[in-house]
DNA sequence: CGCGACGTTGATTTGCCTCAACGATTGTGG
DNA sequence: CCACAATCGTTGAGGCAAATCAACGTCGCG
């Protein structure tokens, strides 16, 4: 899929307009701050040691962020497709080197805003500040739900709920990514699916 | 400990001023919206079915929020002491009935702001909106850290890290609350402490 | 075609849970 | 201020869910 940069930016603006109101003037202010970033499949956007200086929005494709522990095991913190945001927010906010990987799963097109540009946008277009307040609120609540679920359910339930919650995304994620997101090993998820074929067909 | 309401409110304002600037006029606007809520030990602030209509700040005392699953097991989502915020944010934002308990661990004094009042404050005093954007950003990043840790460490490491991260709070929390926060059963935490007395003395 | 990445399978091990009984401590009402 | 109950923490035996390890199948891609 090939997109003109104009189209990419407009998709981004549309996304903003789903949550906030923007005048044409506001839109001009925003457009001036945007950049496009393209990634092939399996390309790294952030690696440990990098400092994240951009807020990033997925226009097309699929990405994830994960932590690699001392036993070389991956733990997926986040994944995202079109119209989701993806970043290492800890690094972005603290300006410290990341301990995470952020990587594309498919060929991906991103819109990104540099931190300095976003800070000035907050002042020029206060609705943008409101946009991020609302977005981060929702993200926080969603992460709380995930935390509760991690604490209170077994593997079968977690995978079941995952499938209904992310019906449309599941097939775009490799199975080992799903396992690492749900906190189980890939071999176990494989065995789980076999044991419950009927439920999962 | 007995506090005049004036003193309670001033502590709250001081807390705001650690993050944002407020003119005397702003402070007046804020003060008009505040209420005080007092709880004895082990009193419920929110129970399943309630809708949370307030943002709440702990002036003194200790609280936690937890989920009770279908096997009657508690899972602590959050705890907090003086100068922390506590709420069921999901219920507050969605206006839907909570599925959580929010309960005091010690005798506690709260400052609370009704949702409608907070919404108007966002318009009257934009710095307040910024305050909450910054606070929720930090909370989100902290919860991400916890998520990574839940996914990538065993019980021993989680408890170790907990002790260093919350050195001052640990002794104010019953041990079963700590266990339920870390995702293990109280009996197991007890055995863990015994097995590693030397590390934990 | 051949290699590398991904998924599967089964045998074995282990970390944590379950359950039940017993201490210790605290707070409360008489 | 004591007595008693309730709450909280401890201990140990036994069980199970999930991890580990190693081998093999399969598919897509260079």
Per-position DSSP letters for chain A, written without gaps between them: ----HHHHHHHHHHHHHTTS---HHHHHHHHTTEEEEEE-TT-EEE-TT----EEEEEEESEEEEEEE-TTS-EEEEEEEETT-B---HHHHHH-PPP-EEEEESS-EEEEEEEHHHHHHHHHH-HHHHHHHHHHHHHHHHHHHHHHHHHHH--HHHHHHHHHHHTHHHHTTS-HHHHHHHHTS-HHHHHHHHHHTTTTT-
Distance between the alpha carbon (CA) of A189 and the C1' atom of D16, Å:
17
Q: How confident is the model at residue A114 (pLDDT cuts 50, 70, 90)?
A: very high
Domain-embedded: residue B68: yes
Determine whether the interchain pair A90/B145 forms a contact, defined as Cβ–Cβ distance below 8 Å: yes
CA distance A65 to B164: 27
Domain-embedded: residue A166: yes
**A140-160 pLDDT tens trace:** 999 999 999 999 999 999 999
Beta bridge partners of B79: B64
Chain A residues closer than 8 Å to B133 by CB: 129, 132-133, 136
pLDDT above 90 coverage of chain B, percent: 95
Domain-embedded: residue A21: yes
Q: Please tell me the predicted confidence (pLDDT) of residue A1.
A: 54
Determine whether the interchain pair B130/A129 forms a contact, defined as Cβ–Cβ distance below 8 Å: yes
**B26-81 pLDDT tens trace:** 999 999 999 999 999 999 999 999 999 999 999 999 999 999 999 999 999 999 99
Instruction: Check whether residue A169 and residue A114 sit in a common domain.
Output: no
Domain-embedded: residue B145: no
Chain B residues closer than 8 Å to A69 by CB: 152-153
Q: Does A3 score more than 90 pLDDT? A: no
**B149-194 pLDDT tens trace:** 999 999 999 999 999 999 999 999 999 999 999 999 999 999 999 9
CATH number, residue B39 = 2.60.120.10
Report DSSP state, residue B85: B
Chain B residues closer than 8 Å to A94 by CB: 141
Domain-embedded: residue B15: yes
Tell me the pLDDT of chain A averaged across its residues: 96
Instruction: Check whether residue A167 and residue A100 sit in a common domain.
Output: no
Q: Please tell me the predicted confidence (pLDDT) of residue B200.
A: 82
| Mean pLDDT, rounded, for A127-150 | 98
Q: Please tell me the predicted confidence (pLDDT) of residue B199.
A: 82
**Of B77, B136, B138, which is closest to A137 when you measure between CB atoms?**
B136
Determine whether the interchain pair A129/B129 forms a contact, defined as Cβ–Cβ distance below 8 Å: yes
Q: Please tell me the predicted confidence (pLDDT) of residue B2.
A: 63
**B84-123 pLDDT tens trace:** 999 999 999 999 999 999 999 999 999 999 999 999 999 9
Instruction: Check whether residue A33 and residue A99 sit in a common domain.
Output: yes
Q: Please tell me the predicted confidence (pLDDT) of residue A201.
A: 77
Q: Rg for chain B (alpha carbons), in Å?
A: 18
Contact A4, A49 (CB under 8 A): no
Instruction: Check whether residue A52 and residue A100 sit in a common domain.
Output: yes
Distance between the alpha carbon (CA) of B190 and the C1' atom of C24, Å:
14
Query: Mutating which of B93, B135, B143, B148 best tests the A interface, going by the most A Cβ atoms within 10 A?
Result: B148
Instruction: Check whether residue A20 and residue A86 sit in a common domain.
Output: yes
Distance between the alpha carbon (CA) of B26 and the C1' atom of D15, Å:
62
Q: Please tell me the predicted confidence (pLDDT) of residue A151.
A: 98
Instruction: Check whether residue A114 and residue A177 sit in a common domain.
Output: no
Q: Does A44 score more than 80 pLDDT? A: yes
Identify the weakest region by mean pLDDT among A2-6, A125-129, A145-149, A186-190.
Answer: A2-6
Determine whether the interchain pair A144/B89 forms a contact, defined as Cβ–Cβ distance below 8 Å: yes
Cα–Cα–Cα angle for B104, B55, B45, nearest 5°?
25
Instruction: Check whether residue A48 and residue A74 sit in a common domain.
Output: yes
Distance between the alpha carbon (CA) of A200 and the C1' atom of D23, Å:
27
| Cβ within 7 Å of nucleic strand D, residues | A 71, 73, 154-156, 183-185, 187-188; B 174-176, 186-187, 189-191, 193-194
Domain-embedded: residue B199: no
Q: Please tell me the predicted confidence (pLDDT) of residue B1.
A: 53
Instruction: Check whether residue A104 and residue A168 sit in a common domain.
Output: no
- Indicate the angle between helix axes B24-31 and B115-124, nearest 10 degrees: 160
pLDDT above 90 coverage of chain A, percent: 95
CA distance A42 to A62: 10
Contact A29, A127 (CB under 8 A): no
| Mean pLDDT, rounded, for A90-103 | 98
Beta bridge partners of B114: B54
Query: Mutating which of B89, B130, B140 best tests the A interface, going by the most A Cβ atoms within 10 A?
Result: B140
Instruction: Check whether residue A91 and residue A166 sit in a common domain.
Output: no
**Chain D bases near protein Cβ (<7 Å):** 8-12, 17-22
| Mean pLDDT, rounded, for A159-178 | 97
Instruction: Check whether residue A19 and residue A83 sit in a common domain.
Output: yes
Domain-embedded: residue B61: yes
The shortest C-alpha distance from A3 to chain B (Å) reads: 33
Instruction: Check whether residue A60 and residue A118 sit in a common domain.
Output: yes
Domain-embedded: residue B135: no
Chain A residues closer than 8 Å to B89 by CB: 137, 140-141, 144
| Mean pLDDT, rounded, for A166-191 | 97
CA distance A147 to A80: 18
Determine whether the interchain pair B140/A77 forms a contact, defined as Cβ–Cβ distance below 8 Å: no
The shortest C-alpha distance from A128 to chain B (Å) reads: 12
Determine whether the interchain pair A67/B148 forms a contact, defined as Cβ–Cβ distance below 8 Å: yes
CA distance B51 to B194: 42
CA distance B71 to B43: 22
- Nucleotide nearest residue B177, measured CA to C1': D8
**Count of the separate structural domains present in chain A:** 2
Domain that residue A171 falls in: 153-201
CA distance B85 to A52: 28
Q: Please tell me the predicted confidence (pLDDT) of residue B101.
A: 97
Instruction: Check whether residue A62 and residue A113 sit in a common domain.
Output: yes
Q: Does A119 score more than 90 pLDDT? A: yes
Provide φ and ψ at A103, rounded to 5°: -140, 145
**A67-80 pLDDT tens trace:** 999 999 999 999 99
Q: Does A120 score more than 70 pLDDT? A: yes
**Of B77, B133, B148, which is closest to A144 when you measure between CB atoms?**
B77
| Mean pLDDT, rounded, for A124-139 | 98
């Amino acid at each position: 899929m090939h997109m003109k940069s104009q189209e990419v930016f407009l998709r981004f603006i549309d996304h903003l307009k789903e949550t906030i109101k923007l005048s044409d003037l506001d839109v001009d202010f925003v457009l001036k701050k945007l950049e496009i970033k393209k990634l092939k499949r399996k390309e790294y956007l952030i690696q440990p040691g990098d400092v994240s200086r951009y807020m990033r929005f997925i226009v097309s494709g699929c990405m994830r962020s994960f932590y690699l522990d001392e036993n070389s095991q991956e733990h997926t913190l986040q994944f995202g497709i079109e119209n989701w945001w993806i970043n290492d927010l800890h690094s972005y906010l603290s300006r410290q080197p990341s301990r995470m990987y952020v990587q594309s799963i498919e060929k991906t097109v991103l819109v990104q805003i540099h931190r300095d540009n976003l800070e000035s946008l907050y002042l020029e277009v206060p609705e943008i500040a409101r946009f991020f307040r609302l977005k981060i609120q929702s993200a926080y609540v969603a992460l709380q739900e995930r935390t509760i679920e991690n604490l209170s359910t077994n593997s079968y339930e977690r995978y079941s709920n995952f499938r209904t919650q992310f019906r449309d995304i599941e097939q775009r994620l490799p199975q080992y990514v799903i396992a690492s997101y749900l906190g189980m090993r890939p071999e176990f998820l494989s065995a789980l699916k076999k044991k419950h074929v009927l439920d999962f067909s």
